[in-house]
């Protein structure tokens, strides 16, 4: 294999099956601490259906290599030590997330792992193909080099600490308590009550319009509320049948965002914006701005989409 490309897995890997899991929006003030906690055992972590959301979030900071394996798989036992060796040598520039497909059927289904070992990377939530089957160490290193280049092009250049933390386990730092309305929102999210969470965040913003944590949380919960229970195939069919139907296009864009296909979502709405008469564009621009805030201005995909929106406006 000489090249890896994020577009090659569009439609082949569907991480959107994990989108309906109620996950509390992350507080940016504690994001780095939580990201480090994912890798407290070093650069190699075991990931489950329940904890995969943390790895997806961490992939916005540092590239993740997902190793799908099973105890009975002979080639897996040949490849895994090679992956672990290369990742360890990279010193935290890449995290290896090991997924036992037998114990984590939802992840196996999401990645459509028809044969193992299967190795897929994550960059900013986007799946990137690497290889299937046991491959030589030299080839592994070549593909890792390509992965780091792609990560750098997408602004994912962070790293994690590989130090084990027995002392931290003995005396974990105490987190500051959440403000009451934030705590109410988090509790509601954990039970899937997105309407209550939205109301709590809206109240928090009314009390303090500069509460960026509440603003970020509100955007995430609104997205979760909009995509909850939506059938992806039906939504795409409806959008294809009515290319200028705003709600149909908004729904697919939301599903793309929740599935990690950020460029697809932005491209869909920007194309729609370009095709609509000037007096019908406002809702599309508003939805784009909302999604920009959800992804974050530091993301290069947001910068590119903003530039195109500006060119269409003027």
pTM for this predicted structure: 0.48
Find the helix packing angle between 180-190 and 212-227, rounded to 10°: 20
For residue 312, pLDDT beyond 80: yes
Query: Is there a catalytic annotation at residue 270?
Result: no
User: Which residues are CB-contacts of 100 (< 8 A; sequence separation ≥ 6)?
Assistant: 46, 69, 70, 71
For residue 293, pLDDT beyond 90: no
List, for residues 253-264, the tens digit of each pLDDT value: 998 887 778 899
The active-site residue, picked from 6, 35, 65, 73, is 73
Comparing 256 with 175, the larger pLDDT belongs to 256
Report whether 112 contacts 79 (CB < 8 A): no
Among residues 131, 134, 154, the alpha carbon closest in space to that of 60 is found at 154
Domain containing 64 equals 6-167
List, for residues 133-172, the tens digit of each pLDDT value: 888 888 899 999 989 988 888 888 888 875 543 334 444 4
Report whether 130 contacts 65 (CB < 8 A): yes
Give yes or no: residues 134 and 25 share one domain. Answer: yes
For residue 131, pLDDT beyond 70: yes
For residue 311, pLDDT beyond 90: yes
Q: What is the reported pLDDT for 42?
A: 63
Comparing 3 with 245, the larger pLDDT belongs to 245
Among residues 101, 65, 69, 105, the alpha carbon closest in space to that of 85 is found at 65
Comparing 176 with 125, the larger pLDDT belongs to 125
User: Is position 211 within any domain?
Assistant: yes
Tell me the pLDDT of the chain averaged across its residues. 80
For residue 8, pLDDT beyond 70: no
User: Is position 173 within any domain?
Assistant: no
Alpha carbon distance, N-terminus to C-terminus of the chain: 44
The active-site residue, picked from 18, 62, 76, 160, is 76
Report whether 221 contacts 208 (CB < 8 A): no
Give yes or no: residues 25 and 112 share one domain. Answer: yes
Give yes or no: residues 163 and 209 share one domain. Answer: no
Q: What is the reported pLDDT for 280?
A: 93
Give yes or no: residues 185 and 217 share one domain. Answer: yes
Domain C-terminal end among 144, 167, 190: 167
What's the CATH number where 229 sits?
1.25.40
Give yes or no: residues 53 and 133 share one domain. Answer: yes
For residue 22, pLDDT beyond 70: no
**3-state DSSP assignment of residue 65:** strand
Domain C-terminal end among 167, 191, 209: 167
Give yes or no: residues 203 and 129 share one domain. Answer: no
Q: What is the reported pLDDT for 175?
A: 52
Q: What is the reported pLDDT for 286?
A: 94
Domain count, the chain: 2
Query: Is there a catalytic annotation at residue 40?
Result: no
| Best-predicted range by mean pLDDT (8-12, 154-158, 280-284) | 280-284
Give yes or no: residues 121 and 158 share one domain. Answer: yes
Confidence label for 99 from pLDDT (cuts 50, 70 and 90): very high
Comparing 28 with 133, the larger pLDDT belongs to 133
């Amino acid at each position: 294999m000489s090249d890896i490309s994020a577009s090659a897995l569009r439609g082949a890997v569907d991480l959107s099956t994990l989108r309906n899991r109620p996950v509390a929006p992350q507080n940016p003030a504690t994001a780095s601490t939580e990201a480090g906690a994912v890798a407290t055992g070093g650069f190699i972590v075991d990931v489950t259906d329940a904890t995969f959301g943390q790895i997806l979030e961490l992939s916005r900071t540092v590239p993740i290599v997902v190793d799908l394996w099973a105890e009975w798989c002979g080639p897996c036992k040949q490849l895994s030590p090679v992956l672990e060796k290369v990742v360890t040598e990279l010193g935290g520039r890449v995290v290896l997330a090991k997924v036992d497909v037998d114990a984590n059927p939802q992840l196996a289904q999401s990645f459509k792992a028809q044969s193992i070992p299967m190795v897929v990377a994550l960059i900013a939530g986007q799946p990137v193909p690497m290889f299937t089957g046991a491959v030589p160490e030299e080839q592994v290193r070549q593909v890792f080099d390509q992965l780091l280049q792609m990560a750098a092009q997408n602004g994912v250049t962070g790293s994690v600490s590989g130090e084990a933390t027995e002392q931290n386990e003995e005396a974990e730092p105490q987190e500051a308590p959440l403000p009451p309305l934030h705590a109410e929102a988090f509790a509601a999210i954990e039970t899937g009550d997105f309407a209550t969470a939205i109301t709590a965040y809206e109240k928090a913003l009314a009390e303090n319009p500069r509460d960026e944590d509440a603003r970020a949380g509100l955007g995430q919960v609104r997205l979760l509320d909009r995509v909850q229970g939506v059938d992806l195939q039906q939504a795409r069919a409806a959008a294809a049948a009515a290319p200028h139907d705003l709600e149909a296009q908004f729904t697919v864009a939301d599903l793309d965002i929740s599935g990690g296909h950020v460029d697809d979502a932005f491209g869909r709405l920007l194309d729609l914006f370009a095709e609509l008469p000037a007096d019908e564009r406002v809702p599309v621009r508003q939805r784009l701005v909302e999604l920009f805030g959800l992804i974050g201005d530091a993301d290069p995909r947001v910068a590119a989409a903003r530039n195109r929106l500006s060119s269409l406006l003027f």
